[in-house]
Amino acid sequence: MHTLQVQGVTKQYEKVLAVNNVSFEAQPGRILGLLGPNGAGKTTSIRMITYITIPDSGQILFGGQKVSPKSQEIMGYLPEERGLYKKMKVGEQLMYFAELKGMPKSEARDAIKYWLDRMGALDWVSKETNELSKGMQQKIQFIATILHDPKLLILDEPFGGLDPINSDLLQDVILELKDSGRTILFASHRMEQVEQLCDDICLVSRGEIVVNGALNEVKKRYGKNTVMIDFEGSDAFLDPLEAAGDVRVNVRSTRHAEIRLLNDTPSKKVLQAALEHVSDITRFELVEPPMREIFVTAVTEQQGEQALEPQTEGGAA
Amino acid sequence: MNKTFIVAKNEFMKRVKTKWFIFTTLLGPIVLVGFFTVIGFVSASAIEGGESTIVVLDETDRIAENLSDPEGDMTFTVSDADEETLRQQVLDGEYNGYLVLPAGLITGDEGARYYSTEGGGVSSFNFDLRSIIRNTVRQLRLEDQNVPSEVFEIINAGVSLDTIKLSEEGEEQGSSAAYAIVGGIMGFLIYLTMLIYGSVVMQGVIQEKMNRVVEVIVSSVRPFDLLMGKVLGIGAMGLVQMTFWAGLIAAGTLGSGAIISLFIDPANMDLPDTATQAEVLDAVGFQVPELGPEVFIFFVIYFLLGYLLYSTLFAGIGSAVEQQQDAQSLMVPVMMPIIISIVFLQAVIEAPNSGLSVALSLIPFTAPIPMVVRVAMIDVPLWQMAASLSLLIGTFVGAVWVSSRIYRVGILSYGKKPSLKEIIKWMRYA
């Protein structure tokens, strides 16, 4: 099967340790969310998986084989920084990308037609790329990524710049590919999308893995310690709680707050404080922390530790 | 290799289809010929300098009346006014200058003096004026000694020098001037195309990096294959263009007699107006050069090798920067040898067998231009040819190694413009 295995991989640039002994796996039929702050080493990891660069130590296997020019042909990579040839026509451009992936011309022609039709872009086939809007170019680039029917898909912020309708269309295609057994790596800073799409997550910070595992298990690990409260009236009740160190307020808006309970503070205490001040409570729920919260907690914990060490390591893109 | 071919095919096709390509291929030679014609006319008119009127103060009372310019550009007027008046007239622009012929000129005790607002200098005008005065004075000197005028005619009769190229196969009739022109044009074409195609490659690399397409491409193709594909694809485009132009040069050489004779007025060659083209060409010592096919083959080979060497280096530079302007300072060391070889083009044409010419055509970075000039003009010894070619090919292989190592790091590096030192460091990356 087409499992992606990253085993003890390290990559150093000059004095920067971009990726430090990282190991994780991505399974076919599942979506792995590759998360991490800017400069955490995500792009470096992706470049090693796609065989653009080579690790200093450790190895990367796909389907049990070391990654190579051959494995490149069964991978599709959509980088965060989008790019197409401006002066080339959409059809010619897609044909070129398909040929570079080793696809026979006739097969490529059919696939181009199918996907352009599917993405509602058949009319653009003989247009030059620079005539297209940003969203249209985005769709074309996505087609270029999946045209050759890759076994491994690496999507870095695939929804950036798309309107809700096109986002839904893209999401349908991604889920369809997942269901047909593709291995998918999904890199994003949009935590709500990660929660919607990912089966597993791998969170890296400063070149090291800080959280790794199935999304629901990771959430369980953090326990039900977050209060979601919707209310009418003043949110002033939050201030004394925060000042006393009982809670940390993660999200605070006019009628909604997300509160992390600290030091085993019972949720009842928050409810009581709220009842005294607000005019009405429309929702009060104790939940597992959202992905956003896990991200922030894990990264600050790890970087707090390292902040004490001498700063020889930095982040590399 | 397969991927290299796909990249090369794409680079070739998308460029050959452009208007730019069709335009330059067809119009390139016309522009080039036009360029040389303009230079020819400009320098010719600069040498002739137009017409001038000279007022003469003749203390001998014998010379002035005999002064005349066979080309008719100079008109001489005799004046009795004093030098101060003449001086003022010249300053006022009435005359171009005034000429003082002292009494002792004929005996050689004194020299003639010419005053003009332009002063001295090395111009053909001064040369012509001196020769007019000298001829007149000499004639008077001979007359003073009662020498018959026939003697003067004998002395003045023209002496011509034919230059004939000696080679292993025997004497060739073509004049070396014609070979020099063909060689010069070929060398200049190689200079232009190495720079133009080299910068096309560099621009392509920079654009791919700027567009960020390169990251997608290198997830399908090894950077080395991509680099070679680009260089070869654009090279193939150049080859099509150069082959076309080489054909035109060959045709132009055959028709050169007709072209040259258009620029020559038979009257100037002491020939009747009815002189045939062959007679005119014979009079100026020009014969249609006979260039063997090997000249054109070496022209194409040296163009290709020179292009490959420089475009590979330019691609390496392009990969290191994000904007064309940033490439300028990095290009200077690479451009130096090309500039050196074009600066010495004249020297090579004048002495194709000199130590300098041989050295330049052996050093791989300067070889293409001087070698092509030499091949067109003389029989280059086999050992020089072999040494030059193998050095050039070896250097190209080395350039590919260096550039591809810079390239694979460069195309993915964004942000600060790297220094030369940093670029050299990239070569040591795994």
Distance, in angstroms, between B220 CA and closest chain A CA? 6
Cβ contact B412–A47 (<8 Å): yes
Which residues make up the CATH 3.30.70 domain(s) of chain A? 224-287
Amino acid at position A245, single letter: G
> In A, which residues are within 8 Å of B217 by CB distance?
100
HSE on the CB side for A118, CA within 13 Å?
Answer: 20
Mean pLDDT of chain B: 82
Chain A segment 85-104 residues within 8 A of B by beta carbon are 85-88, 92, 96-97, 99-101
Q: Which of B213, B217, B411 to mutate to test the interface with A (most CBs of A within 10 A)?
A: B213
Distance, in angstroms, between A142 CA and closest chain B CA? 11
Cβ contact B215–A54 (<8 Å): no
Cβ contact A81–B215 (<8 Å): yes
Task: Break chain B into its structural domains and give their ranges.
Answer: 2-43+173-426, 50-156
Q: Residues B147-195: pLDDT tens digits? A: 887 887 787 777 766 666 666 655 554 456 777 877 888 888 899 889 9
Q: Residue B362's Cα: distance from chain center in Å?
A: 20
* Rounded distance between C-alpha atoms, residue B375 and residue B354, angstroms: 14
A265-272: long-range pairs with CB below 8 Å, 24+: A267/A227, A269/A241, A270/A227, A270/A229, A270/A241
> In B, which residues are within 8 Å of A92 by CB distance?
14
Question: Across the strands, what pairs with B115?
Answer: B98
Cβ contact B221–A100 (<8 Å): yes
* Rounded distance between C-alpha atoms, residue A195 and residue A295, angstroms: 12
Q: What is the pLDDT of residue B287?
A: 59
Q: What is the pLDDT of residue A316?
A: 39
Q: What is the pLDDT of residue A312?
A: 42
pLDDT band of residue A311 (cuts 50, 70, 90) is: very low
- Quick count: other Cβ atoms within 10 Å of Cβ B387? 15
pTM: predicted TM-score of the whole model, two decimal places = 0.76
Chain B segment 216-235 residues within 8 A of A by beta carbon are 216-222
> CA-CA distances (angstroms) from residue B182 to B30, B250, B262, B287, B288?
16, 9, 18, 13, 11
- Quick count: other Cβ atoms within 10 Å of Cβ B102? 15
**Of A75, A179, A171, which Cα lies nearest the Cα of A119?**
A171
Q: What is the pLDDT of residue B36?
A: 67
Which of A54, A83, A97 comes nearest B215 by C-beta? A83
Q: Which CATH architecture has domain B50-156?
A: 3-Layer(aba) Sandwich (3.40)
A192 versus A143: which is more confidently predicted? A143
Distance, in angstroms, between A147 CA and closest chain B CA? 13
Q: What is the pLDDT of residue A278?
A: 86
Which residues make up the CATH 3.40.50.300 domain(s) of chain A? 4-219
For the segment(s) A4-219, the CATH number from 3.40.50.700, 3.40.50.300, 1.10.1200.10, 3.40.50.280 is 3.40.50.300
A224-287 maps to which CATH number? 3.30.70
Which of A14, A72, A99 comes nearest B219 by C-beta? A72
> In B, which residues are within 8 Å of A52 by CB distance?
215, 218-219, 412
Q: Residues A93-142: pLDDT tens digits? A: 999 999 999 999 999 999 999 999 999 999 999 999 989 998 899 999 99
Name the token pair of A25.
């796996």
Distance, in angstroms, between A101 CA and closest chain B CA? 6
Q: What is the pLDDT of residue A64?
A: 92
Q: Are A6 and A49 in contact (CB under 8 A)?
A: yes
Please report the ipTM that was assigned to this predicted complex.
0.83
Cβ contact A52–B7 (<8 Å): no
| Residue of chain A with shortest Cα separation from B223 | A52
Q: Are B303 and B373 in contact (CB under 8 A)?
A: no
* Residue A262 scores a pLDDT above 70: yes
* Residue A71 scores a pLDDT above 50: yes
Question: Across the strands, what pairs with A13?
Answer: A16
Distance, in angstroms, between B305 CA and closest chain A CA? 27
pLDDT band of residue A313 (cuts 50, 70, 90) is: very low
Buried b (16+ CB within 10 A) or exposed e, A200-210: bbbbbbbbbbb
Low-confidence ranges of chain B (pLDDT < 50): 173-174
